């Protein structure tokens, strides 16, 4: 129940990768024919990723992760824009830390002014807010495609159209969205887009940045001439091959997976609302929510406590982003949606996927209400809450 943190590398993907750990170990930069197999494999994967996005293969650059793609998009673009006297970045308050911490770095060390756009109570960015934030110093707009904690899908095509009209480069972090939604970078006017293989049944440690032809971005990793001189270091061939394969498989079953996941998601949401009093669904509903995301707050209980209780019953869930699970601060995303601290602390995220079964959904619905009720029975906060509602 935590497919957003990561997914298992699918057997077909692993099979495609295996030769590149063994007999096909040639360095793609070498000139002899043996190494050409590695080069060919990388170019095939580039084509597979490009095809899934309606991009040209020459616009795909492989990276070491989604985080690296995000860092590159922001730092590389702002670095280049500095030469033209532009130092303004527009992003949102609900981005993944790969974006937020890159933006904070740029503010602290590069003199960049950052506008963090607010979101509404379901997590939507307003296109009018993006428009109002643009100045003649704006070098980049970066708005995530879909949020990793609450699953809200942003109005990317509208923001893309606005940015194209105003001639501002537009980046989107699609690390989660690309695993569930059809993305057409041309139709959506996207200039840069980040992805990560391990969120879509590919291997860990490989991502990609799509950069529309003509995008002006400084390199992020300097060194050799790999990735057409834009991203140095000997390629992670097996990882790249796995990414390409994972993307092709994902695309071939995307609509089917979306329908299955959405039905299970809605069943779990409806079941929780029915069985657990005062449960609050965080994020949007229907088509505006990632098909695999379920995020609730249960007033009176700590999300972390629920995670441990669920774990003892064999259920792996999360309170939000895996990357911030070691911090006890409430989620910045839930606070941005306007949740009070005590509600943000009581949040729980289930993210379903290919490993999920109907029986597992039923099992969660059997176990969770009991766990929440038991924890609430011990909680002074819950008692106060009931009193405030006149229910005690
Ligand atoms: N962006 C988003 C929205 C994410 O959810 C994640 C990972 O959870 C990342 C970026 C980072 O991707 P990676 O794990 O490949 O570095």
What is the token pair recorded at 169? Answer: 């480069």
Q: Which atom of ligand 1 is nearest to the CA of 198?
A: 15
Mean pLDDT, residues 211-226 taken together:
96
pLDDT at 190: 98
Q: Cα dist. 223→35, 127, 142 in Å?
A: 20, 39, 27
321-365 pLDDT tens trace: 544 445 567 899 999 999 998 888 889 999 999 999 999 999 999
Confidence class for position 162, pLDDT limits 50, 70, 90: very high
Mean pLDDT, residues 169-190 taken together:
98
pLDDT at 326: 56
pLDDT at 322: 46
What is the DSSP secondary-structure string of 299-350? Answer: TTS-HHHHHHHHHHTT---BSS-GGGTT--SPPHHHHHTT--HHHHHTEEEE
Nearest CA to ligand 1 atom 4: 175
Q: Which of 82-86, 199-203, 325-329 has the lowest mean pLDDT?
A: 325-329
- Average pLDDT of the chain, as a whole number: 96
pLDDT at 156: 98
115-158 pLDDT tens trace: 999 999 999 999 999 999 999 999 999 999 999 999 999 999 99
Report the C-alpha gap between 122 and 144 in whole angstroms.
15
Nearest CA to ligand 1 atom 8: 5
Q: Is the pLDDT of residue 72 over 50?
A: yes
Q: Are 318 and 349 in contact (CB under 8 A)?
A: yes
The DSSP output letter for 8 is P
Q: Is the CB of 176 under 6 A from ligand 1?
A: yes
Q: Classify 157 as helix, strand or coil.
A: helix
Q: Which atom of ligand 1 is nearest to the CA of 196?
A: 15
- Considering the entire predicted model, what is its pTM? 0.97
264-295 pLDDT tens trace: 999 999 999 999 999 999 999 999 999 999 99
Q: Are 70 and 102 in contact (CB under 8 A)?
A: yes
Per cent of the chain over pLDDT 90 is: 95
Return contacts of 370-375, CB within 8 angstroms, 24+ apart: 371/306, 371/309, 371/310, 371/313, 372/276, 372/279, 372/298, 372/301, 372/306, 373/276, 374/309, 375/300, 375/301, 375/302, 375/305, 375/306, 375/309
pLDDT at 323: 46
pLDDT at 80: 97
Distance between alpha carbon 217 and the CA centroid of its chain, in Å?
22
Q: Are 202 and 33 in contact (CB under 8 A)?
A: no
Q: Classify 65 as helix, strand or coil.
A: coil
Q: Which of 217-231, 250-264, 328-342, 357-371 has the lowest mean pLDDT?
A: 328-342
Mean pLDDT, residues 364-385 taken together:
96
Q: Which atom of ligand 1 is nearest to the CA of 146?
A: 3
Q: Is the CB of 351 under 6 A from ligand 1?
A: no
Q: Is the CB of 150 under 6 A from ligand 1?
A: no
Residue 323 catalytic?
Answer: yes
Confidence class for position 89, pLDDT limits 50, 70, 90: very high
Q: Is the CB of 320 under 6 A from ligand 1?
A: no
Report the C-alpha gap between 251 and 256 in whole angstroms.
10
* Catalytic position from the list 127, 281, 323, 381: 323
Q: Is the CB of 2 under 6 A from ligand 1?
A: no
Mean pLDDT, residues 90-116 taken together:
98
Q: Are 379 and 300 in contact (CB under 8 A)?
A: yes
């Amino acid at each position: 129940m935590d497919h957003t943190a990561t997914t298992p590398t699918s057997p077909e993907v692993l099979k495609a990768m295996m030769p590149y750990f063994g007999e096909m170990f040639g360095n793609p930069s070498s000139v002899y024919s043996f190494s050409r197999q590695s080069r060919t494999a990388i170019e095939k994967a580039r084509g597979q990723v490009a095809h899934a996005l309606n991009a040209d293969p020459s616009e795909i650059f492989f990276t070491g992760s989604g985080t690296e793609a995000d860092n590159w998009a922001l730092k590389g673009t702002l670095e280049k824009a500095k030469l033209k006297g532009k130092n303004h970045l527009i992003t949102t308050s609900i981005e993944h830390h790969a974006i937020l911490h890159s933006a904070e770095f740029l503010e602290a060390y590069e003199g960049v002014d950052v506008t963090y756009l607010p979101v509404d109570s379901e997590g939507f960015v307003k296109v009018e807010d993006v428009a109002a934030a643009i100045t003649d110093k704006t070098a980049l707009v970066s708005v995530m495609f879909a949020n990793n904690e609450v699953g809200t899908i942003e109005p990317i095509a509208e923001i893309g159209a606005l940015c194209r009209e105003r001639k501002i480069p537009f980046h989107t972090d699609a690390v989660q969205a690309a695993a569930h939604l059809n993305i057409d970078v041309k139709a959506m006017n996207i200039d840069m887009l980040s992805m990560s293989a391990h969120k879509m049944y590919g291997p860990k440690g490989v991502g990609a940045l799509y950069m529309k032809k003509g995008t002006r971005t400084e390199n992020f990793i300097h060194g050799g001439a790999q990735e057409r001189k834009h991203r140095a270091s000997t390629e992670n061939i097996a990882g790249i091959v796995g990414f390409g394969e994972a993307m092709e498989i994902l695309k071939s079953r995307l609509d089917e997976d979306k329908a299955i996941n959405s039905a299970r998601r809605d069943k779990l949401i409806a079941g929780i609302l029915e069985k657990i009093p005062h449960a609050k669904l965080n994020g949007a509903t229907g088509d505006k929510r990632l098909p695999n995301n379920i995020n609730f707050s249960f007033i009176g209980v700590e999300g972390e406590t629920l995670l441990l209780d669920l774990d003892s019953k064999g259920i792996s869930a999360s309170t939000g982003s895996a990357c911030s699970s070691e911090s006890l601060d409430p989620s910045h995303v839930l606070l941005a949606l306007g949740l009070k601290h005590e509600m943000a602390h009581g949040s729980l995220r289930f993210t379903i996927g290919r490993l999920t079964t109907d029986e597992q959904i039923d099992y969660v619905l059997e176990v969770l209400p009991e766990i929440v009720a038991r924890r609430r029975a011990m909680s002074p906060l819950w008692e106060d809450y009931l009193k405030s509602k006149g229910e005690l």
